[in-house]
Amino acid sequence: MPALTLTGDGGALQATFVPTAGMVGCSLRHRGAELLGLRGGLRAYVAQRSTMGIPLLYPWANRLRRRRFPVAGRQVVLDRPSTPVSFDERGLPIHGLLAAARGWTVTRHDPEGDGATLEAGFDFGAHDDLLAAFPFPHRLRFAATLTATTLTIVTTVRAAYDAQVPVAFGYHPYLQLPGVARADWQVDVPVAEALPLDARMLPTGERVAVRVRGGALGARTFDDAYVAPEGAAPFVVAGGGRRIEVTLHEGYGYAQVFAPAADAVIAFEPMTAPTDALVAGGPDLPVVAPGAAYRAAFSIAVTDRGAARSG
């Protein structure tokens, strides 16, 4: 599985992706320290579809309540034996169809400098097994750019001229602070509105005002859904003289925060729609018109300064 690396200006920040494994980000190093939670590693991601690094969750992020349902005038069918889908412990479809997928074509790789770039495309409509499950022909474009301090990932969905495309994808960047105890990580989750989840981790349909206390993560855990912060305020994890900011720039109206007790990682997950939006439909689900495009961008910035706010 050939990996392609980007090195930002000055060499302090490096990012690595694997095109033959779904364009997964398998490394983000800052001054030699690995900032991604690699969990089971790349081999497990390919063999078992277990998440790690920075995976693309496509065409939906997190869970769906049904395996068959109508959306945007067509029928999604996720229970065929040939469908490349994973299910959670309750049997719900989870994290889309492109985990570790082959079929990405690299169109540009400028590996070094201020604005090192990796671009690739994926023709969803050219894969019969994917269209049988999610019958919306379209193309994906992935573009990662690395500067001295910041990795930016832009994903574009371009619909075919004879079909609209519902958009509910996301990313799941697992972050860690090597050499710093999990309890000492300083976090900032600058959200104002939560989407309560039921026992199956599906939205109840409610929205509630919320304020998440900043400061030390301590023994706190997260697996919670939110409306994206206003004004592109960044999610932050900091400690040991290092600060990581995840910013949702455009196209991501929602986010999930994941910080389990048993794994020293935290994920600030950009999402174009809430969990289960493909099934629920409604105004929270973007739909791309035939021939049109949807663009979504987020960034991960790494610096040697500062901490998260507290209180």
Farthest CA pair distance, the chain: 53
- Extended strands (E) in 116-274: 116-123, 138-146, 150-159, 165-166, 170-171, 174-175, 186-188, 193-195, 208-209, 215-216, 222-227, 235-239, 242-250, 254-259, 266-271
Tell me the three state secondary structure of residue 12.
Answer: coil
Local structure of residue 21 (DSSP, 8 states): G
Q: CA 59, CA 77: separation in Å to the nearest integer?
A: 13
Mean pLDDT of 95-106: 95
Per-residue pLDDT tens digits for 5-19: 999 999 999 999 999
- C-alpha 107/C-alpha 177 separation (Å) is 33
Query: Could you tell me the pLDDT band of residue 36, with boundaries at 50, 70 and 90?
Result: very high
Sign of CA dihedral 54, 60, 61, 67: negative
**The pTM is what?**
0.96
Q: The dihedral of CA 27, 183, 212, 277: what is its sign? A: positive
For the stretch 145-177, pLDDT in tens is 999 999 999 999 999 999 999 999 999 999 999
Question: What distance in Å separates the CA atoms of residue 88 and residue 146, rounded to the nearest whole number?
Answer: 34
Least confident of 16-30, 39-53, 108-122: 39-53
- 214-271 confidence digits (pLDDT tens): 999 999 999 999 999 999 999 999 999 999 999 999 999 999 999 999 999 999 999 9
Q: Alpha helices, DSSP H only, in 32-87? A: 41-48
| Residue with the two structure tokens 């980007």 | 6
Distance separating alpha carbons of residues 116 and 279, to the nearest angstrom: 38
The helix (H) or strand (E) run that includes residue 128 is: helix 128-133
For residues 122 and 131, give the distance between their C-alpha atoms in angstroms, rounded to a whole number: 13
pLDDT for 308 beyond 80: no
Residue with tokens 């090192």: 116
